[in-house]
Each structure stands twice: as C-alpha cells, then as structure tokens.
Amino acid sequence: MPQNISKEDYFKWFPDLLLELAPKGSIEDLTSVREAFVPIIKFVYSGISIDLIFSRLKQDQVSKDQTLLNDRVLQGLEEAESRSLNGNRVTTEILELVPQPGPFRTALRGIKLWAQRRAIYANIIGFPGGVAWAMMVARVCQLYPKATSSTIVLKFFKIMYQWQWPQPVLLKHVQQVGPNPNAKVWNPQVG
Amino acid sequence: MNFTSQTDLEHPIYIPSTNPYKFILNVFDMATPYEKKLGLTGPLSQALPTDAEKHQSDALIEELRRQNNYESAADTKKRYVLYCPLGRHRPRHKYELYFESWLTNSLFADTMSLIPYRRSQRNLSNESADLRDSLNTSSTGKVARSLPTAASY
C-alpha cells in the first residue's frame, strides 16, 4: 500500500471492498486478525485459502512490478511494518542464495511432504515451519551446487542428522539490513 | 647484459602490458563459466549428477505428482480468475479508501495550524482573542461540515 493508507484504513475498508470486488459468494470465512504479530486478513476464495498481509511502503504509489528485496523499501518503516514485508523478502532471498532453484524446489516439496506426514511441520507446535525447512534444504543445495533433487533429499538427511545443533543453519552472514539502525538483528548466541 | 627471461633477474622488472584491457578480459573470460559463490563455506562436492541420480529425480517428481503435490491445471486456472477481480481498477473505491485518512489528516492539520497562532495571540487584549477564538471555531466547523459523508459515495 502507498504511505498515505494506514493499517486502520486497511482493516476498516478493505474487507468490505474485497467482498464487493469478488464475484458473489466466492469469498468465505473472511476474518481480520489485526492484533497478530503480522496483521492479516484471512479468507477462502473459491476454495483457495489466502492470507492477505498489509504492509505499507514509504512511497506515494506502488507499481504492479514492485519488488521488495532491495533494503531501501525498509526505509522509514516501523519494526511491525517491516515485519509484514519479511515473508516475501525471505522467500525471494532464499531463492537468490540457492545455486539451482529447480532442484531446490523439488527437493523442498519432498522434504515438506515427509515432514507433514511425520507431523513435525509447524512453528506453532514447536517444530520447524515452512521457512526453517526451506533454509535447511537451501543450505544443502549450497553444499552440493550441481546435485539433482534426489541427491539433495539424500544429503539433506545425512547432513541434518549430523548437524551440530544449536549451531545455526546460515545461508549468508547475519547483517544489519536496511537503513534503520535500531532494527533488531538476530543473534544466534542469544537465541 | 642479456636476459632470456624475467626469472633470471633477482628483482623482476614490471613491464606494462600492451593490452590495457588485459585485466578486464581476465575477469570476463568466456572460457570459464561464471559461478556465484554461495554459502559461508565452499561446496562439499561439485560433482555433476550421474544418470542414475537423474532417474531417481524423475522418480521423485513422479511420486510427488502421484501424491497431488503439484497444482492441477484447473486450480491454476482458478487462481488466474482470482487475480483478475482483485487487480481490477476501480477508482471510485480508491477515493473511498483515501477518504478516512484524508478526513483525519485534514482535521488534524487544521487543529495543529491553530495552536501556534493561538499562542501568539495570548498577549492580545481579551476582546481580540475572543474574536480570534470565534473565527477559529467557525472555520473548523466549516471544514468539518463541508466534508462529504461516506454515504454520499
């Protein structure tokens, strides 16, 4: 959203706007979760579950091809606002840090399916969530840059079995991102 | 003194290359493919996949497909239908969305602009301060009244 639309505006106007814009009856179970860590509007559109995140950019206009990877988009945003951009930025960055996106995606599909079947997939119950599994697979891809998806799955289990936890799985150096000097940076020593 | 090569010298002499782009050309050497350095440590293996590994990957994709892990063509089509109405340009709604923040901001700006002015008027006589107050009140009231209501959209 452009800068002159606040979070309050979004939650006040957007749910009704969505219902009006979409074909009648196609949106079900629309709920606004304002007070969440990342405020969202949840709904089911034609059977597809969607979490719509609000985030504001310090711009007067937002073009259709707006990308969020550049750290400059964080300029002038509060911590809560920049958290809303995290999902997109992390996903894009993981793909940037992987040697071959194709095998990475296939291997990740396999690993995620396995984790879901074993019921060890979800942050909310104390297991790695989507991003954590993706980062682990991405690290294995970095270690075997030319391997195919099946090899990555095999090496994933070998490497993660021997991993010296709680040593973090890092894809790049932890760095102070963005121009905001007060933004919190993750410190693996603290946890 | 005759030197056959620079290795004969105790201190080799730097001879500038005749090609000023020598260093640049070395960087963009077409023969060696460019490889992005990824990760904090180097790769464990750079080995290319064998035929057996490629077959296993195909089998993996086949199995994932059997487990309905890939989106079907029908679902993809449904998603495209979704993008259309949400991306449709409806300027009327844009103003509706702007309305609330505009209302707040304009009223807020109006009030804020009065504060320093009132302070500067403190030392004036009671009569003119009262006149000023009445003018300010009426101007604020006028702004609020002239705003369109949400129902008028």
Task: Give the CATH number, domain containing residue A69.
Answer: 3.30.460.10
Q: How many CB pairs under 8 A join A and B?
A: 105
Phi-psi region of B67 (alpha: psi -120 to 50; beta: other; left: phi over 0): alpha
Q: Is residue A173 part of a domain?
A: no
> Per the structure, how many domains does chain B have?
1
Residues of B in contact with A14 (CB under 8 A): 97
Residue B115 belongs to a domain: yes
Q: Is residue B97 part of a domain?
A: yes
Matching residue, tokens 């070395």: B26
Res. A146 pLDDT band, cuts 50 70 90: very high
Answer yes or no: is B131 within a domain: yes
Residue B35: closest C-alpha in chain A: A99
Q: Residues A30, A15: contact at Cβ < 8 Å? A: yes
CA dist A29 and B9 (Å) reads 84
- Residue spans of beta strands (DSSP E) within A34-147: 40-45, 48-53
Lowest mean pLDDT among A6-15, A163-172, B94-103, B112-121: B112-121
The C-alpha angle with vertex B134 and arms to B133 and B140, in degrees rounded to 5, equals 90
Instruction: Answer whether A155's CB lies under 8 Å from A140's CB.
Output: yes
Please give the pLDDT value at position A17.
80
> What are the two backbone dihedrals, phi and then psi, of residue A32, each rounded to the nearest 5 degrees?
-95, 130
Determine, yes or no, domain membership for A50.
Answer: yes
* A18–B86 CB contact, under 8 Å: yes
Pair A142, A99: CB distance under 8 Å = yes
Task: Decide if B39 and A110 are in contact by the 8 Å CB cutoff.
Answer: no
Residue A138 resides in a domain: yes
- Are A75 and A21 in a shared domain? yes
Please report which confidence band the pLDDT of residue B97 belongs to, taking 50, 70 and 90 as the band edges: low
Angstrom distance (rounded) from CA B27 to CA B18? 17
pLDDT of residue B141: 44
**In terms of DSSP bridges, do strands A48-53 and A40-45 run parallel, antiparallel, or are they unpaired?**
antiparallel
User: Which pLDDT belongs to residue A87?
Assistant: 85
- Based on the fold, state whether residues A83 and A124 are members of the same structural domain: no
Confidence of residue A10 (pLDDT cuts 50, 70, 90): confident
Output B19 or B67, whichever has higher pLDDT.
B67
Inform me whether the pLDDT recorded for A191 exceeds 60.
no
Domain membership of residue B111 (yes or no) is yes
Q: Which chain B residues touch A153 with a CB distance below 8 Å?
A: 60
Q: Which residue has the higher pLDDT, A93 or A71?
A: A93
B5 is a domain residue? no
Residues A13 and A71 in one domain: yes
Residues belonging to chain B with any Cβ–Cβ distance to chain A shorter than 8 Å: 35-36, 38-41, 43-49, 53-54, 56-57, 59-61, 64, 67, 69, 75, 78-79, 81-82, 85-88, 90, 93, 96-98, 100-101, 105
Report the alpha-carbon distance of residue A80 to residue A39 in Å, rounded.
9
Cα–Cα distances (Å) from A126 to A3, A109, A117, A120, B41, in that order, read: 36, 21, 16, 8, 29
Buried-state track A75-107, b at ≥16 Cβ within 10 A, e below 16: ebbeeebbebbebebeeebbeebbbeeebbebb
Pair of tokens at residue A22 = 């979409």
CB-neighbour burial class of residue A113 (10 A; exposed 0-12, middle 13-18, buried 19+): middle
Asked if the model's pLDDT at residue A159 lies above 50, the reply is yes
| From A12, A97, A147, residue closest to B38, measured CB to CB | A97
Query: What average pLDDT does the segment A114-119 reach?
Result: 95
Q: Decide if A148 and B40 are in contact by the 8 Å CB cutoff.
A: no
Q: Could you tell me if residue B62 is inside a domain?
A: no
Does residue A30 belong to any structural domain of this protein? Answer: yes
Domain, as residue range, for B122: 91-152
pLDDT at B13 over 60: no
Segment A40-64 shows an average pLDDT of 84
pLDDT at A177: 64
**A112: containing domain:** 97-162
Q: Is there a single domain that holds both residue A116 and residue A52?
A: no
What pLDDT score does A137 carry? 97
Q: In chain B, which residue's Cα lies nearest the Cα of A19?
A: B86
Taking only the tens place, the pLDDT of each residue in B46-61 is: 999 999 999 999 999 9
pLDDT of residue B105: 57
Nearest to A9 by CA among B149, B96, B89, B85: B96
Count of domains forming chain A = 2
Please state, in angstroms and rounded to a whole number, the distance separating the CA atoms of residues A101 and A150: 14
Distance, in Å, from the CA atom of B121 to the CA atom of B99, rounded to the nearest integer, reads 33
